[in-house]
Structure 1
Amino acid sequence: MTTLGNTKAPALQKTLSTLQLWGIAVGLVISGEYFGWSYGWASAGTLGFTVTALFIAAMYACFIFSFTELTTSIPHAGGPFAYSKAAFGPVGGYIAGAATLIEFVFAPPAIALAIGAYLNVQFPAIDPKVAAVAAYIVFMALNIVGVQIAATFELVVTLLAIFELLVFMGVVSPGFSMANFTKGGWSGQDGFSLASIPGMFAAIPFAIWFFLAIEGVAMAAEEAKDPKRSIPIAYIAGILTLVLLAVGVMVFAGGAGDWTKLANINDPLPQAMKLIVGENSNWLHMLVWLGLFGLIASFHGIILGYSRQIFALSREAYLPGYFAKIHPRFKTPHRAILAGGVVGIIAIFSDELIKFNDQPLTANIVTMSVFGAILMYIVSMLSLFKLRRTAPHMVRPFKAPMYPVFPAFALFGACVCMATMIYFNAMMFLVFVVFLGLGLGYFMLTKGQRDDAAATAPVAATSG
């Protein structure tokens, strides 16, 4: 089994509690309840998408129960990178690390664009892209000033976001009609047919958006006070919270009126509420303002996630060591935070580069992020099976229940998702492969750096 090298290098502080980790777990994902998922209605309809979403929810539940075993056994800021490196060596580490990096770097620009869209509802003169860039600047700064401040802020906005989703369900419930939800619910048809199936598969990336990035808690493992105890609680409570919220939001939004009007927009909840309370209701204004908390929670949390991934890869010499520096005062990976932000801001203005099809820019960015996530899920589950066989005596504070059924179902579900996503998003997959190929070229050219990093003092030991 390959060792992890410089796992004790960084000066990250162990300050996060169980409640804060739960806040990060839910906060990382909760923007997925506010936008993104409704694009799945465009291809699958409400009922078809419900079937897809329930399959993805089952996959995620099995994945989280299995992934928790890896996170508590190897509490490393690199998360999946560290697990795959332990199981399959440096190449395995590269594949998982690159996939995770793509997932976490491309998710924030999609969320930032949604923040801009929500602000544009209140202030039509504001350019959503300008607002998205401003969000990057503000929340990168907040992440730089300290993980304890960042995690506390994350917990507060996550609780507010959950409260707002419950308010949304309550406000639209008087006008809810199951007839609205089921009308044309099978890819535009009122009844199920074989013609509905392709649309259900095409909707997979948008069902994944309901849960994407919950695994990012793993990247805060080095900063948890008691990762072996708190991470399982945070993960399990987090996935249960998200499944309940996802089902509630989807059903109430679809039953509020003509759901086809919500299928290709970045702000489905305010628009669903308009169908019930009208455009001038105070409830609508409250939803727009408080709804920002859900987007902010995920945006802020994923910045924390991508920065730790860049930091961990740089610390192990998979990326330039420049990004593995810790801020001397705040003890955060400030250069890694800024690096991911630069890539995200470029993506926000990359309409012509990323828009290969008729989908909106946000939908394509979501798809790119999901490709990274699915590849990482596959490699992580393979790592779990490999480590069970090659490292049977590894200390495992939490073991995957119903092994090997749960990890096998998670692996099966991830493979189904990958195959169908490639079929329906061939051009985006090509771009994804190009990114992986460029990274592989850098990986092959820098073998000497990794050998030096493993043999000498940790590259990230200094501040600057």
Structure 2
Amino acid sequence: MENRVELKKTLKPMHVWALAVGSIIGFGCFVLPGSWLPKAGPMGAAIAFVLGAAFMLVIAYNYGFMIKNFPVAGGEFAYAYEAFGRNHAFVCGWFLTLGYLCLIPSNGSALAVLGRYVAPGFFTHGYMYSIAGWDVYLGEILLASAGILIFGILNYRGVQAVGSIQIVMSALLCGSVLLITAGSFLSPESSFSNLEPLFAPGKSILASVAVVLAIAPFLFVGFDTIPQSAEEFNFSHDKSLKLMVTAIIIGGLMYAAVSLSTAVVAPWQQLIAGKPVWATGQAMHQTLGAFGLLFLMIAVLMAICTGINGFYMATSRLLFSMARSKVIPSFFADVHPKYKTPYKAILFILVISLIAPWFGRQAIIWIVDMCAVGTAIGYLYTCLAPYVLHKSNPGLEGGSKAKIVSVLGSLFSIVFLVLLLVPGSPAVLEIPAWIALAAWVAMGLAFYATMAKRYQQIPKEELDYLVLGELSPNTIRRKV
């Protein structure tokens, strides 16, 4: 049995928490309120975010259980392997890779969108072509590529630096949101009457909440950077659940706060009726002036950068784990002799991410929409795994409660998949996203066909060791 390469334990609790919070709060938190308000109303959107956070807390409980028992890189890939075997592990890992990988260029291209607002005309130089109605400029490609490259270098040079800079950026993100929220509600122009109607006109309360709740779970993608980095924790894995819970709660509150802050400063229906380029930006500028807009810009920039940073971490650790388990080429499992990072996996992610901005923002959005399927599949496998483990260990203390939470989390995950895949759903994929999903499935089948023979021939004892390492004697295992 060959030696199993492992990652160095250097991450502290604050590093991990910042990775989760920064990955949860993305560009959409500050750009999409203009779309959410007419669909749900201010209170409908806020309730949807709180409920979405509550659903994710149930799923996070299952993640906490699995991290405690299987503290290895790869997260959901390892959990699927332990509960359902090697073939399911490949399926989970393949879809999850896509779910994480596409979020890096998505955040990179968001830099170009921010550039259009902050410096109109500055980055829109060197017009090249249009894809799906989106004009592609060389200046914006260079801006997006710069962000992707900077964080690629940071991740290449060591996880401790990644964690430290994530703490700073997440602090700026949370602090800026707190300031603009307080400023909005304390402004003389603000009034609670501006929030009326609280829900979307012509819709019931339930319908108003449901339309945003349908997409809310996908806004919380990012807390699952925690299981991907579990192998590098330099602290007890028992703290994982608390870190995820606090990150999700803060994420839900921040989404709700930004939406309410946008609506409270002026009658929100009048604000939306003007079809502003950026509703939140206009609201902050007219009430808080240049300083309010400055803090909003800082929040948006930090949301983009923390997302790029966090998903570099998550994607590289997933590829590392799959390569170490011989599911994909061992190339991705090579660890840098000095920096102790899976540097070849990071370089691969960097190259792929630098290609994406050339296809334009709209094409990337279609792919990102499709990526939500991958993360939902990861949720489902993780929530099902505790049930399987408890079923094979019937005398386990607290087993009944854990199985109930496992079933609930699995049902929520299935609902998320239904919302994405069933026609008529508020979050159903568009046709281009379906095409991208079909292409990814076809690529997975072709890839697995080339790897299956070698993968299936690995003895179970060896594969257990490669995927899960040397586990504690008290670890709950599936009885086979």
Asked if Structure 1 and Structure 2 have the same fold, meaning a TM-score greater than 0.5 normalized by the shorter chain, the answer is yes
2:399, 2:60 → 1: CA distance? Answer: 9
User: For the Cα contact (< 8 Å) 1:114–1:266, is it kept in 2?
Assistant: no
Residues 83 and 239 from structure 1, CA distance in 2 versus in 1: closer, same or farther, beyond 3 angstroms?
A: same
Give the whole-Å Cα distance in 2 for the aligned partners of 1:109 and 1:400. 41
Tell me which of 91, 95, 102 is aligned to 1:99: 95
Whole-Å separation in 2 of the counterparts to 1:266 and 1:109: 22
- Distance, in Å, in 1 between the alignment partners of 2:328 and 2:92 is 14
Cα distance, 1:306 vs. partner? 0.8
Q: Which secondary structure does the structure 2 equivalent of 1:404 belong to? A: helix
Measured after TM superposition, the shift of residue 202 of structure 1 is 5.3
> Shift of residue 331 of structure 1?
1.0
Residue 366 (structure 1) shift: 3.7
| The one of 277, 283, 287 aligned to 2:288 | 277
Distance across 2 between alignment mates of 1:56 and 1:164: 23
SS in 2 for 1:412: helix
Q: Secondary structure in 1 aligned to 2:102?
A: helix
Within the candidate set 25, 28, 42, 2:20 is matched to 25
Once the two structures are overlaid, the 10-residue window that deviates more, 450-459 or 160-169, is 450-459
Q: Which residue of 1 aligns with 2:408?
A: 409
Q: CA deviation at 1:59?
A: 1.1
- Distance change >3 Å, CA 9–CA 261, structure 1 → 2: farther
Match of 2:262 among 243, 249, 253: 253
Paired residues of 1:324 and 1:336 also in contact (CA < 8 A): yes
Shift of residue 212, structure 1, vs aligned partner = 1.1
2:444: which partner in 1?
Answer: 439
Q: Which residue of 2 aligns with 1:165?
A: 177
| CA displacement, residues 342-370 of structure 1 (integer Å, 9 cap, x when unaligned) | 3333333334xxx9xxxx55643442232
Contact kept, 8 Å, 2:332 with 2:345, in 1: the verdict is yes
Q: Which of 9, 13, 19 is residue 14 of structure 1 equivalent to?
A: 9
What do you get for the CA RMSD once the two structures are aligned?
3.2
Letter paired with 2:429: N
Asked whether 1:378 is paired with 2:380, we answer yes
Question: 1:115 is matched by which residue type in structure 2?
Answer: L
- Deviations 1:147-168, CA, capped at 9 Å, x for gaps: 1111111111111111011011
Deviation at 1:335, TM superposition (A): 1.5
C-alpha spacing 1:39/1:304, structure 2 compared with 1 (3 Å) = farther
In the alignment, residue 155 of structure 1 is paired with which amino acid? I
Aligned pair partner of 1:364 in 363, 366, 373: 366
Q: Distance in 2 between matches of 1:184 and 1:345?
A: 42
Amino acid at match of 1:160: L
1-side partners of 2:214 and 2:195: how far apart?
21
Contact 1:172 1:273 in 2 (8 A): yes
* Matches of 1:179 and 1:366, distance apart in 2: 37
Farther-moved stretch of structure 1 (443-452 vs 307-316): 443-452
Matched length: 438
Matches within 5 A, 1:87-166: 87-124=83-120, 125-126=122-123, 127-166=139-178
SS of equivalent to 1:77: coil
Q: How far apart are residue 216 of structure 1 and its match?
A: 1.3
Amino acid at match of 1:379: Y
- Decide whether the 8 Å contact of 2:180 with 2:295 is kept in 1: no
1:392-445 deviations in whole A, cap 9, x for unaligned?
A: 689x9xx79943333322222222221122222252244224313321331232
Specify whether residues 363 and 448 from structure 1 end up closer, same or farther in structure 2 by C-alpha distance, changes over 3 A only: closer
Equivalent residue runs for 1:330-341 within 5 Å: 330-341=339-350
The one-letter code matched in structure 2 to 1:437 is: A
Question: TM-score when scaled to structure 1?
Answer: 0.84
Task: Quickly say closer, same or farther: Cα 1:391–1:104, change in 2 above 3 A.
Answer: farther
Q: Which amino acid aligns with 2:239?
A: S
Deviation at 1:101, TM superposition (A): 1.0
Q: What letter matches 1:53 in structure 2?
A: F
For the 8 Å contact 2:43–2:199, the answer to whether it is kept is yes
Which one-letter code corresponds to 2:379 in the other structure? Y
Q: Which structure 2 residue ranges, 5 or more long, are not aligned? A: 124-138, 468-480
Q: Partner residue of 1:449?
A: 454
Q: CA deviation at 1:275?
A: 3.6
Partner of 2:391: 389
Q: Which whole-Å CA distance do the structure 2 matches of 1:166 and 1:131 have between them?
A: 28
Code of the aligned partner of 2:454 = Q
TM-score (norm 2): 0.81
Q: State the alpha-carbon separation in 1 of the partners of residues 141 and 219 from structure 2.
A: 23
**C-alpha distance in 1 between matches for 2:454 and 2:297:** 49
**Cα distance in 2 for residues equivalent to 1:364 and 1:47:** 29
% same residue: 21
Is the alpha carbon distance of 1:243 and 1:458 closer, same or farther for their aligned partners in structure 2, counting shifts above 3 Å? closer
Look up the SS of the partner of 2:224 in the other structure.
helix
SS of the residue 1:295 aligns to: helix
Following superposition, the deviation at residue 451 of structure 1 comes to: 4.7
Alpha-carbon distance between aligned partners in 1 of 2:32 and 2:98, rounded to the nearest angstrom? 18
Task: Note if contact 1:56-1:413 (Cα within 8 Å) is conserved in structure 2.
Answer: no
From the superposition, tell whether residues 410 and 272 of structure 1 become closer, same or farther in structure 2 (CA, over 3 Å). farther
Pairing of 1:303-382 with structure 2 (within 5 A): 303-351=312-360, 360-361=362-363, 363-382=365-384
Distance 2:256 2:178 in 1: 12
SS in structure 2 at match of 1:349:
helix
